[in-house]
Structure 1
Amino acid sequence: MTSNPAPIVTADLEVDQLTSTWKKFFPKFNSAIESLSKALNSGEAPTFGDLNTLARTLITEEENSSNNDFIGMAFQSLEDASEGDEVISENIRKSLIPLFLALLRSQSCSASISIKSERLRIKPLLDANNEKSVVIKRAKIIANDKWAADTNKEIRTSEMANRVWSQLVDEGFSQYLPQNVERVKVWIRSVAPEHARAKGRTKKRSA
């Protein structure tokens, strides 16, 4: 029994799914597997029309590609040649299933190579974004802790941004910090208490 080509599965599946090759190839792959599996499981050969559609899906890149004309001519010729003899027609249609499975396997290998190449370009960007996300979360935690300890409610957002920046540097996050402290101010704004958002300098308490 002919086995279906296996879908691409890698350790970096979430990254792979972001590549343009995955987005372009897998809808085709799944559609083709579903169509061929239905034929294999039922024991009934797909119609020439189904095979024509499947070939267009797998081979052509554009809806109006000239390949569609050649594919249509090929299947029309096969249908005409077997017209009037259902046995011959069915044998021809069944014999084409392994050809489509081979085509799928070939495309799967090509897609795997393309996805691997795209992953090498995308993953560093995602890693950098993940690292930045970690730093932002840490900045919010630092700010939140410092504001909780500010019982006199004296620390405004700008001053807190400077304090958070300094602590992040001390904790070894220098390479992940933005070029200016104003960005840190934006990071911690969502955790700032009401008094920290007020404009102007904090009024000094009288002794």
Structure 2
Amino acid sequence: MVEEHETPTSKRVSAKLDYMFEQLKPFVENGEEVPFSVMQEIFILALTEDHDDDACVNRNLIHSSFEILETLKAKEENDSPLLSAAMLNLLTVVFGNYVTSNNRSIEREMTSFKGLYAINKSQSDTSTRAQEIAKSLWAEDHDRAIRVGEMAQRVYAQMHAEGRSANLPKDAEALRKWIKPVAPPYSQRGGRARKPK
């Protein structure tokens, strides 16, 4: 079963999230104002993707926006706490949205993987049962006459009789690859099986 940290989204964003938390942690723990440089870095991480064609343009826009904000903060010293508070609110929204959006993606991937896991498990169980049937029938083949193709047909019919048809391949020919690993050497020779005496 796939764990949450193994999903594609988690692999893609977990290092970024860890880094963002580490950048914010000292300021939050000490009740200090988050510097614009840290905010800018988090905005860039949260709002741009490396594989995105517009990433460079967006990074430049974010960078120039923070330069303007730094200039405004320096010019209007009395209003800077309000400016910082407004930016912190925006940072909270961007960061929260980044986390929420990626959590939703991870949940969707986990749901998909659960379905795939169930299908693969069911397919594996059916394949294992097919091999068990083939081994049993070959163990009873004292004349050493049953070839893989014929065994595939017998196993296919028995699997249908057991009610396992939902996970079977479309025909007995396709089932050959499932039972071939357990086939004795004589069953894999070419040509027709010899007639028992």
Distance 1:27 1:73 in 2: 26
Q: Equivalent residues in 2 for 1:61-76 (5 A)?
A: 61=49, 62=52, 64-65=54-55, 66-76=57-67
Correspondence 1:77-156 to 2 at 5 A: 77-80=68-71, 100-117=91-108, 123-156=114-147
Change (3 A) 1:98 1:45: same
TM superposition shift of 1:158: 0.9
Q: CA deviation at 1:167?
A: 1.8
User: Unaligned stretches of 5+ in structure 1?
Assistant: 1-11, 84-88
Q: Structure 1 residues 82 and 172 mapped into 2: Cα distance closer, same or farther (>3 Å)?
A: same
Aligned residues: 191
Equivalent residues of 2:4, 2:10 under 8 A apart: no
Letter in 1 for 2:40: N
Q: 1:133 to 1:31 in 2, by over 3 A?
A: farther
Measure, in 2, the Cα distance between the counterparts of 1:134 and 1:25.
35
Q: Contact between 2:43 and 2:94, CA under 8 Å: does it hold in 1? A: no
Secondary structure of 1:155 counterpart: coil
Give matches, 1:165-176, under 5 Å: 165-176=156-167
Per the TM alignment, residue 109 of structure 1 is displaced from its structure 2 partner at its CA by 2.5
The offset of 1:38, in angstroms, is: 5.6
Question: 1:82: how far off?
Answer: 6.1
Deviates more, 1:141-150 or 1:51-60: 141-150
Cα deviation, residue 185, structure 1: 0.5
Cα contact 1:60–1:67 (8 A) shared by 2: yes
TM-score (structure 2 length as normaliser)? 0.71
Secondary structure, in 3 states, of the residue corresponding to 1:199? coil
Bigger helix fraction = 2
Residue identity opposite 2:17 in structure 1? F
What's the offset of the Cα at 1:139? 1.1
Pairwise CA distance, 1:67: 2.7
Change (3 A) 1:199 1:98: same
Paired AA for residue 67 in structure 1: N
- Percentage of pairs with the same residue: 29
In structure 2, the residue corresponding to 1:200 is in which secondary structure? Answer: coil
CA contact 1:161–1:188 (8 Å) conserved in 2: yes
Greater shift in the superposed pair: 165-174 or 143-152: 143-152
Tell me if the contact between 2:145 and 2:193 (Cα under 8 Å) persists in the aligned partners.
Answer: yes
CA shift at 1:170, angstroms?
2.0
